[in-house]
A and B are shown apart, each in its own frame.
Chain A
Amino acid sequence: MRLLPLAVVLGVSLYSAGFWVVDPLLQPSREDYRAAECAIRGDWLSGDAIVVIPWWAARIREFVGDLNFIQLRNPQAEDWSTYSRLWVVSLPGHRYDLGTYPRLKKIRAGALEIDLYDLPTPARVIYDFRDRLGDARVLMREPPGPRQCSRWVENRWICSRRDWNYVGRMIVELGDDPRKIIWAHPADDPIEIHYQSVPGGKLLRVHTGFTPPAARAQDGAPVTLRVLMDGRELGRVVQQNLTGYFPAEWDISAAGPGPHQVTFIVSSPRGGMRHFCFDAQVRG
């Protein structure tokens, strides 16, 4: 019994020393990454996406960062409905099984493991409002009358000199992950984003959310996103003061093939710290 404390201390010390000796030996080499790159590029198809496990691992992006890379903490919970296949690159000690989808192949690249999953037939994106933001007309609906944000600078329609007051293509953190969105911070008056000549489809899908700093604001007011098609309201989302990436969708099949005029109206009773973001697609 008197030996037990010593045994514990020795055991912990040996484990700890071994940890610093063994752990570095298990890490992937540059050659492993090159092999992973070859495997991915050799079988890459349009509609593929790549995630890495754990989410913080970045070296793979030196090799395939130009491909469709998506940084996610939890790929299992993601909506993959616009992708056809998913590559999952995982580091030692971080093996991951995207169990709900059939695995097409499993490749070992040294210490790296690469799984290719077959996703259900992807939804066809007919019109991506974020991609087409440059074609939109943006208005600040303020007294005495609406004012157009007519200056397009680096991915955004500038509405005033205030550094948040624009409608722009951004990548921001919503929830815990980066998302490609349209930044549409309402002021005390609504912002309108008008798109002409939008083709018809089956669904109009949106995601909404606040950035984490906005969601931390104690008195953060909700933001309402109204979606109008050809002047008629399709629906609205009242985004409560939460960070995240919240989906909503409307059936637009009855509206016909178009072209349609689609308007997004973003408003809030109080505009302070309303870092509101959304994306939207017409899907076939």
Chain B
Amino acid sequence: MRLIKRHENTMIALGLALATFGVLFANAPELGLTRDEGYYVDAAEHYAGWFRELSKNPGRAFSDAVISRHYEINREHPVLVKNLMALSYLALAPPRTLSPSWPPDKRGAYVRAMRLPADLFSALCVALVFLFGAAVASRRVGLFAALAFILAPRHFFHAQLACFDMPVTLMWLATVMAFRKAAGSWKWSILTGLIWGLALAVKLNAFFLPVVLGLHWLITEGRQFSLSRRGLKFPRIPLAFFCMLVLGPVVFLLHWPFLWHDTIARLGWYLGFHLNHINYYWEYFGKLLTDPPFPWAYPFVVTALSLPLPTMLLATFGFLALLGRRLGRPVRTGLQLLARLGGMKTATVADAKVTSEVTTDVGKNDAWLLILNTFIPLLIIAIPTIPIFGGMKHWLHAMPFACILAGLALDRIVQALPGEMLGRLHLTTRRVFTAVAGLILLPSLLGLVHIGNYGTTYYNELAGGVAGGADLGMQRQYWSNDISGALPWINEHLPSGARLYLHEVNGECFRSYKRDGYLRGDLRMAWTPESSDFTAYLYHREFVDTEYRVWNLTGNHKIAHGLYLDEVPLALVYDLKRSSK
């Protein structure tokens, strides 16, 4: 008992992780496969082949020919998560056979195995949000932040996917947490370098982390810059930066067998792919954004419309309040720096005010960590030439920090309540915090339950929900996973051997649906509406012509079956044979 008491935060973190993992693992078979998952599960199966080779014939496994055979596929992303998926697949996935009977004895074992690593990453991420919140503020702030983070419907959706967005969110947060403890510590500096290396091994977002940490250093240590007759004086460069510089690339190179041969050329291809990434089209306020310059407000607007409203409001309060409290310092520091560079005596530049600054709940270093890690990921996407497709998942790694800011804001609001009033009502700030936090998180939970597994359709109460998102002309589907809700009808109603075109569903996902018991084995994949007997269309502004081609073929607009959420169509099934008769 004493042990639990001593490690209370660890226990809470463990509880959060277990609960999150349990929910995600249980729900894994219910969520449709996204297009990207289709590519990643396919890649993971190839990588599994390398692990098989490694166990049978280790000598051969390291040759370029064998590595290339298994790792050439999906080389546009690092392989840490996909390697873990490969191992999970080898350990847990059922043999690759189609069930001869329908309905199948069990379904979803394959997708569950493939999503297992992502479930673990997400569970750990929630635990770390709590621990970081508890470390920079208080346990209740951490707990609120962790729940606000995972209950946000968009976050919960991404937490389930065998993709890299939640894993890189975890690794980003873990790197920041290690960096926070690294001042003067060899152990934590080395860990910072190693964890950042793992972050690089998940997704390229991690390349931007040094920018955030560098800015943090400049802001927090800026006063130590000086220029005098003795020359330019720098503050001490954190040890963690050197460790990141050395260990990050080492971990990155070591984790990816494909880079072990012809390293420069393959690394160059990887970086070149992302530096020249095409712009996928994206719907924004009824317009299709196709080419840069993209609206700078895009990430801020999408966040404002897709984070649950109370959480978003509190995060904004928290961000502005903390920034407001800190802003005095850099403004003064900047003036001071300029003055020193100009050879003026620094004592003339408000040093006295600096020393008399009001102390805050959150220390200076932590405050800037929260501010910068919330803001910079959005700012990067706000650069008009940066591709914007994918929506909020590209700045998901900012959201743990935003949720902690929301928790801090709530804490300050509750702390500001008059003590005598609380006393009269026999309340404590803790009780008030708990009650209000529950009410704030309720819309997140209700929204999450309401939208279920159709996470990309979620828009918050400010937008007017799912229908509001459609009214505003915002991107609401792009990954084809919503088709899962139409598969039961398809299995029940399509004649034997029917040719089925599932719009936006790639071949990898189609095969996975069949092998995992979601789709009847006799149904044949069609690649176009014209070659199909049945077409299931998913609204996507870029591809509306697909539905119009169906209308052109059938001569009318009759839908055989529809899947709707708040009357917003998610999947529309057309019977092309019957309609054209």
Q: Which residues of A contact B (CB under 8 A)?
A: 2-3, 5-6, 8-10, 12-17, 19-21, 23-24, 27-28, 54, 56-59, 61-62, 65-67, 69, 71, 91, 93-94, 154-155, 169-173, 176, 178, 212, 216
Contact = CB atoms under 8 A, between A and B. Distances in A.
B561 A62 contact: yes
B440 to A, nearest CB: 5
A89 to B, nearest CB: 11
B470 A54 contact: yes
Given A20-B450, A178-B548, A58 B290 contact: no
Contacts of A19: 443, 461, 465
B382 interface: no
Interface stretch (B1-9, B308-316, B506-514): B308-316
A212 B544 CA distance: 11
Contacts, number: 132
Contacts of A91: 467, 567
Contact of B467 (A21, A93, A173): A93
B556 A65 contact: yes
B558 interface: yes
A66 B446 CA distance: 37
B414 interface: yes
Contacts of B560: 62
Contact of A9 (B310, B461, B539): B310
B551 A171 contact: yes
Interface residues of B, number: 54
Contacts of B566: 23-24, 27
B530 interface: yes
Given A5-B416, A58-B572, A65 B552 contact: no
A59 B556 contact: no
Among A19, A66, A67, A216: residue with most chain B CB under 10 A: A19
A179 B442 CA distance: 44
Interface in B385-423: 410, 413-414, 416-418
Contacts of A170: 548-549, 552
Contacts of B416: 2, 5
Interface in B149-166: none
Contacts of B310: 9, 12-13, 16
B439 interface: yes
A137 B472 CA distance: 45
B465 A56 contact: no
Nearest to B443: A16
Would you call the interface of chain A mostly helix, strand, loop, or mixed? mixed
Contacts of B413: 5-6, 9
A36 to B, nearest CB: 13
B562 A10 contact: no
B450 A173 contact: no
Interface in B456-495: 460-461, 465, 467, 470-471
Interface in B506-544: 530, 539, 544
A17 B446 contact: yes
Interface in B303-323: 308-310, 313-314, 317
B559 A58 contact: yes
Contacts of A66: 556-558, 579
B552 A171 contact: yes
Given A58-B559, A91-B567, A5 B317 contact: yes
24 contacts: A2-B418, A6-B417, A8-B313, A9-B314, A9-B436, A12-B310, A16-B308, A16-B309, A16-B310, A17-B442, A27-B566, A54-B470, A56-B539, A58-B569, A59-B569, A61-B562, A67-B556, A93-B467, A154-B530, A170-B548, A171-B549, A172-B545, A178-B544, A178-B551
A56 B470 contact: yes
Contacts of A172: 545, 548
Contacts of B417: 2-3, 6
B557 A61 contact: yes
B93 interface: no
A17 B450 CA distance: 11
Nearest to B450: A20
A65 B557 contact: yes
Interface in B283-317: 286, 288, 290-291, 308-310, 313-314, 317
B568 interface: yes
Contacts of A57: 567-569
A279 to B, nearest CB: 13
Nearest to B547: A178
A193 to B, nearest CB: 18
A173 B443 contact: no
Contacts of A62: 558-562
B476 to A, nearest CB: 9
B564 interface: yes
A112 B406 CA distance: 40
A147 to B, nearest CB: 25
Contacts of A59: 559, 562, 564, 567, 569
A17 B310 CA distance: 10
Given A16-B443, A56-B539, A171-B552, 14 more contacts: A3-B418, A8-B313, A12-B310, A13-B436, A16-B460, A17-B443, A20-B465, A21-B446, A54-B471, A58-B562, A61-B557, A154-B530, A154-B553, A171-B548
Contact of A20 (B447, B556, B572): B447
A27 B539 CA distance: 20
Contacts of B443: 13, 16-17, 19-20
Contacts of B288: 212
Contacts of A21: 446
Contacts of A2: 416-418
A216 B288 CA distance: 11
Contacts of A27: 566-567
A56 B440 contact: no
Contacts of A94: 471
A178 B447 CA distance: 33
A185 to B, nearest CB: 14
Given A19-B461, A171-B548, A14 B439 contact: yes
B434 to A, nearest CB: 14
